[in-house]
Amino acid sequence: MKINHNYDNLVPNYLFADVARKTNEYIAAHPDKDVIRMGIGDVTLPLPPVVVEALKKGADDLGHKETFKGYPDYEGYAFAREAIAKYYASFGVTVSPDEILITDGAKSDSANMSEIFSQDSVVLVTDPVYPVYVDSNIMAGRKILLAPSTVENGFCAMPDESVHADLIYLCSPNNPTGATYSKDQLKAWVDYANANDAVIIYDAAYEHFIVDDSPRSIFAIDGARTCAIELCSLSKTAGFTGTRAGYTVIPKDLVRDGHNIYDLWYRRLSTKYNGVSWPIQCAVAAVFSDEGLKQIDENINYYRENAKTIAGTFDELGIKYTGGKNSPYIWIQCPNGMGSWEFFDYLLENAQVVGTPGEGFGECGKGMFRFTSFSSHENTVEAMRRMRELLS
């Protein structure tokens, strides 16, 4: 029998493995040095108390006959979907609970969503890119176009009217660049998608970091309901990387090729998935309660403080960057024309600070470097002190 030979076309990406190997080699050779990791992509603060209580209450429910829960609804329980719809309303976006589906995280849905579209769909991603959008489509044998995000466009790639795409992946605030689309920029993408009969898969996993008037949802944009699917995650919003939950919004108005897209996706879910655990759906609802939102903001503000410390350092050093304001990521141009890996080595050897070489995220990441705000205050302050010392 034959395997799926599209897998042969996957480009192995050793970015994080290489970062870890080089870091560990340095530590082994210099056991006296204090290395600070500023490339952490995972959250580090614990779940807030109200969320932990909801998880435990949900677990207790499963232990009693009267409150036991069997198979969940594929789309998630109504109370959890209603809590999410209310959250959307809090920043002025109207989506119906019937358009929301609770998931085990935005990664799975971003990787699986293309399944319901034709195999010959042309995929467009911005470069640099979260590798899942690319690799999941390579696995399906699809053609992938790249829209360059560069210093020139502020790392906000815009549509090219001369190019046709069917499936467009956008991520704002962006991973890895931290750049955030404005309303006008997103409107241009929505207009392009509607004109091209395309669908935008909009990854809003970092929306909760937004502090200015950048759109928190693509559904803040006129026309998005007829061309967009929104994915969101509690991983970064509420520290759910190890808890696993997210949500997907598919407007009932989204129709392509004579098919309602919500219905198609629901058909896929009911065949290939079995919903999210009861205690975790209880935790999702707790996150979006008034008390939950207050508690998660304490965590987010901690990370925001770190981002400010990092961004402030680069302001001081005159190094150009995106992110840091609406995002836990700070994406810099490597100083003195250094390459991504060259700067990685330079920083590790001279300041014992570890970050992530931007070229691991795509061609347009060459010469770029990513810092994250998920370290502790103390480490962030110390790492930035060393950076200033080294680079000023």
Strands 167-171 and 143-148: unpaired
> Is residue 11 near its own copies by the rule CB under 8 A?
no
Q: What residues from 318 to 347 belong to the interface with its own copies (CB under 8 A)?
A: none
Report which DSSP code applies to 48: P
Q: Which of residues 42-81 bind its own copies (CB under 8 A)?
A: 42-49, 51-52, 55-56, 59-60, 62-65, 68-72
Taking the least distance from each CB to its own copies, the nearer of 93 and 245 is: 245
The stretch among 79-87, 258-266, 351-359, 379-387 that binds its own copies (CB under 8 A) is: 258-266
Q: What residues numbered 170-229 form the site for its own copies, per CB under 8 A?
A: 197-199
Q: Which residues pair with 201 in a beta bridge?
A: 169, 229
Longest Cα–Cα distance of the chain, Å, equals 67
Of 331, 108, 105, 128, nearest to 236 by C-alpha is 105
Q: How far apart are CA 38 and CA 384, in angstroms?
A: 10
- The single residue listed with the structure tokens 């347009």 is 364
Residue nearer to its own copies on the CB measure, 76 or 367 = 76
Give yes or no for residue 10 binding its own copies (CB under 8 A): yes
Per CB under 8 A, does 262 bind its own copies? Answer: no
Does the protein bind its own copies through residue 301 (CB under 8 A)? no
Nearest to 328 by CA among 244, 247, 235, 264: 235
φ, ψ of residue 100 to 5 degrees: the values are -105, 140
Q: Which residues, 151 to 180, sit near its own copies by CB under 8 A? A: 166-167
The token duo for 144 is: 């992938």
Nearest alpha-carbon partner for 322 in 126, 152, 106: 152
Q: In terms of CB distance, is 4 or 392 closer to its own copies? A: 4
CA distance 200 to 190: 8
Among residues 20, 146, 264, 319, which is the contact residue for its own copies, using CB under 8 A? 264
Binding pattern for the stretch 237-256 against its own copies, x by CB under 8 A and - elsewhere: --x-xxxx-----------x
| Min dist. Cβ of residue 95 to its own copies (A) | 22
Which of 74, 344 has the CB closer to its own copies? 74
CB atoms within 10 A of CB 274: 10
Q: Where in 83-122 is the site for its own copies (CB under 8 A)?
A: 104-105, 107-108, 111-112, 115-121
Instruction: Give the one residue of 273, 305, 319, 366 binding its own copies; rule: CB under 8 A.
Output: 273
Min dist CB 132 to its own copies, Å, is 6
Closest contact distance (angstroms) between CB of 65 and its own copies is 5
Please report whether residue 279 would count as binding its own copies according to CB under 8 A.
yes
- 3-class secondary structure, 72: coil
In angstroms, give the least distance from the CB of 196 to its own copies: 8
Q: Which of 38, 47, 42 is nearest to 19 (CA)?
A: 38
Q: How far is CA 58 from CA 83, 160, 190, 240, 242, in A?
A: 16, 48, 40, 16, 17
Minimum CB separation of residue 115 from its own copies in Å reads 6
Report the candidate in 136, 137, 179 with the shortest Cα–Cα distance to residue 158: 179
Q: What's the closest the beta carbon of residue 347 comes to its own copies, in angstroms?
A: 24
